[in-house]
Amino acid sequence: MPKHTLKRHRTLIAAVSSGALAVTALAVAGTAGAAPATATAHTATTSHPAWRQLCGAPSTTVASCDVLQVTNPVEHVSAFGVSPHATPSGYGSGDLQSAYGLPANGGSGQTIAVIDAYDDPDAASNLATYRKQYGLPACTASNGCFKEVNSSGKSSPLPSKASANQGAEDSLDLDLVSAVAPDAKILFVEASKGGVSDMGAAVNEAVELGAKFVSNSYIWKESSSDPTYDKDYYDHPGVAVVAGSGDWDYSWGVGYPSSSPYVVSVGGTSLVKSSNTRGWNETVWNTKSGEGTGSGCSAYEPKPSWQKDTGCSKRMTADVAAVADPGHGVAVYDSYQEKGWGVYGGTSAATPVIAGVYADAGTPASGSNPASFPYADPGALNDVTSGDNGSCSPAYFCTAEKGYDGPTGLGTPNGTAAFHD
């Protein structure tokens, strides 16, 4: 996804000041084998760590990443490199596979594309460290598993270097695709700039190169131009194009490309270990006002035929959801910005998780719209029925309820049955 200087067909800001920052990150106190502590404050205490956001909230002229980073986890082992005798803070690959009922060898024979802006020179080495830490198969250029290209599909020249914050986003995307679909190949497409045409060209190139699953962890506030962008960049029958709904709760509004009817819109949950049969529990991710998963009714995009809610005459977001609360966040390895292991959240975490689940489910049928798949089998999802991301009317726009709701869509993965046609 693009860094905080991301552009969308218009000129975007070149830097994010502290006053413009609208989201923050929370911390995880547990390891992959223990339930994390709940963080509720922005400043560190003896039991709650501090956090920060990496990007500011988008507007119609400013796009953003959807990632939040813990600044001082309560427990932070193996600060740099692989640690064979300790588990990094945050949920690892085994946790995510357990929580969502996924195979340990998912994604075989598939290629997942990750779209970002600018070049992350540490992407391949960081990915190798993450995968080795969790015992995942090596995924490198030499064994044909990992390929890094520009938006023309060439390995050289790559774009100019990303910001430090963008490098952290890159690692989050690549690590979580690996965690959920360990046997899939990864195509990392780096756009030369962050404009909508640049990012859209990268999506088109990913599909041209054969990816059937495309993860997009970036967002713009929706505009009347979006239906045109749909046709130019995001309408790819037979390809699961996935994007997050944003990190600024219901009050912020609807974001693009998550609002496209050709894109799988991904909301965020708070995922916590539980003594129930599943072993996990999920609620709507909502830390505080202005900080939580996005949702809502689009003002511009038409309602797809497979979306049956009656309170919104146009496209509703989200369709499905996954882990996003940094207070119960995921482990990520990043040497470009974080200088080691860190804990992250945001719908930039949920997005590659869902892209990976689609890859686990297998190649979509030619001509299909994978965003519609969960609606054909909602019973195959974990229905999230608790929590909200704001105040709204109708209530389901921002409040979890049985069946469909805006913040979590139809629910979270419970195996792969809801993610194939």
Question: Is 291 part of any domain?
Answer: yes
- Residue 10 above 80 pLDDT? no
What does the pLDDT read at residue 61?
A: 53
What does the pLDDT read at residue 49?
A: 53
Amino acid at 163: S
280-284/255-256 β-pairing: unpaired
The per-residue pLDDT of the chain, averaged, comes to 86
**Mean pLDDT, to the nearest integer, of 376-385?**
98
Question: Is 6 part of any domain?
Answer: no
What does the pLDDT read at residue 171?
A: 95
For 187, phi and psi rounded to 5 degrees? Answer: -110, 110
Residue 160 or residue 137, greater confidence: 137
Q: Which of the residue ranges 46-55, 95-104, 302-311 would you say has the lowest mean pLDDT? A: 46-55
For 178, phi and psi rounded to 5 degrees? Answer: -65, -40
**Mean pLDDT, to the nearest integer, of 95-111?**
98
Question: Is 10 part of any domain?
Answer: no
**Mean pLDDT, to the nearest integer, of 257-283?**
97
% of the chain exceeding 90 in pLDDT:
72
How many domains in the chain? Answer: 1
CA angle 121, 125, 127 (to 5 degrees): 110
Domain with 64 in it: 18-419
255-256/218-221 β-pairing: antiparallel
Residue 401 or residue 75, greater confidence: 401
Look at residue 215 and give its three-state secondary structure: strand
Question: Is 71 part of any domain?
Answer: yes
CA angle 153, 155, 157 (to 5 degrees): 100
Question: Is 5 part of any domain?
Answer: no
Q: What is the CATH number of the domain that holds 392?
A: 3.40.50.200
What does the pLDDT read at residue 84?
A: 67
**Mean pLDDT, to the nearest integer, of 191-205?**
90
Question: Is 12 part of any domain?
Answer: no
Identify the band that residue 177 occupies on the pLDDT scale cut at 50, 70 and 90.
very high
For 51, phi and psi rounded to 5 degrees? Answer: -150, 170
Q: How far apart are CA 348 and CA 24, in angstroms?
A: 13
- Residue 3 above 70 pLDDT? no
Whether the bond into 157 is cis, omega within 30 of 0: yes
Q: Which of the residue ranges 21-30, 93-102, 203-212, 363-372 would you say has the lowest mean pLDDT? A: 21-30
Contact 170, 54 (CB under 8 A): no
Question: Is 383 part of any domain?
Answer: yes
For 50, phi and psi rounded to 5 degrees? Answer: -95, 170
- Residue 98 above 50 pLDDT? yes
DSSP string, 50-75: -EEESSPPP-SS--EE--EEESS-SS
Question: Is 338 part of any domain?
Answer: yes
213-216/111-117 β-pairing: parallel
Best mean pLDDT range from 30-39, 163-172, 277-286: 277-286
